[in-house]
Amino acid sequence: MRLIIAEKPSQAQKLAAPYPSKKKKDEIEIASCARFPEGAIVVWAVGHLCELQEPSHYKPEWKSWKYESLPIVPDRFDYRISKGKSKPFQTIKKWLHDRSITDVIIASDAEREGEAIVRLILRLAGNQKPLSRLWISSLTEQAVDRGFAALLPGDQTVPYYHEAMSRACADWLVGMNASRAYT
C-alpha cells in the first residue's frame, strides 16, 4: 500500500476523488484500483507542521534579548513540531511506520514551500521508505490521475527543498538578529 501525503485536507480530498475512496477521521483510504492495485492511504499536513527552533534551544544565553549576545548564529538548524500541530504529525508518522506502507508519495503543492512542508515532516518522523513526487498544478480528476501515472523520482525535486530550507534559515537569522539589535 502507498502513503500519499498532501499539504492540506482539501487537497487530500481532491487527490482521492478520482478513485474509490472512503474518508475516515484522519485519513482517506483509497481502495484497490487500476492506479493503486494495493490501495493507498492519503494523509495531510495543515500547512507548516514543523518550525525552526527558538534561539534558546541552541544556547541558554540566547533566550534573553541582550545586545552582547549577538549575533545569534547556530552551528546547525533544528526543527520541531509547531505548537498545536502534533495530531496531524502523529497521524502521518503512524502511517509512515506502518508495515503495510511500501513507499511514500509527496503530494503537496508543486513548489518549494510545498516540498519543504512534507520533507520536513518526513525528516522529523524518521522516514526510511522510498519516495516519489506528484508534480501537478491542477487538481481536476484528470490532472490528478495523469500526475499519479507519471510520478517523479523522489530525488528529482530535492533542490526545491534545499532552496526552501536556505530561505527559511536566512529569514530566521535576519529576523532573530535584526529584531534584537533594533530593540
Q: What is the pLDDT along the chain (183 residues), one digit of tens a residue?
A: 999 999 999 999 999 999 999 999 999 999 999 999 999 999 999 988 999 999 999 999 999 999 999 999 999 999 999 999 999 999 999 999 999 999 999 999 999 999 999 999 999 999 999 999 999 999 999 999 999 999 999 999 999 999 999 999 999 999 999 999 998
**Distance between CA 41 and CA 64 in Å, rounded?**
45
The rounded distance, in Å, linking the Cα atoms of 28 and 134 is 17
Please tell me the pTM assigned to this model: 0.94
What amino acid occupies position 162?
A: H
Domains observed in the chain: 2-182 (3.40.50.140)
Question: Which string of b and e fits 109-136 if b means at least 16 CB within 10 Å?
Answer: bbebbbbbbbbbbbebbebeeebbbbbb
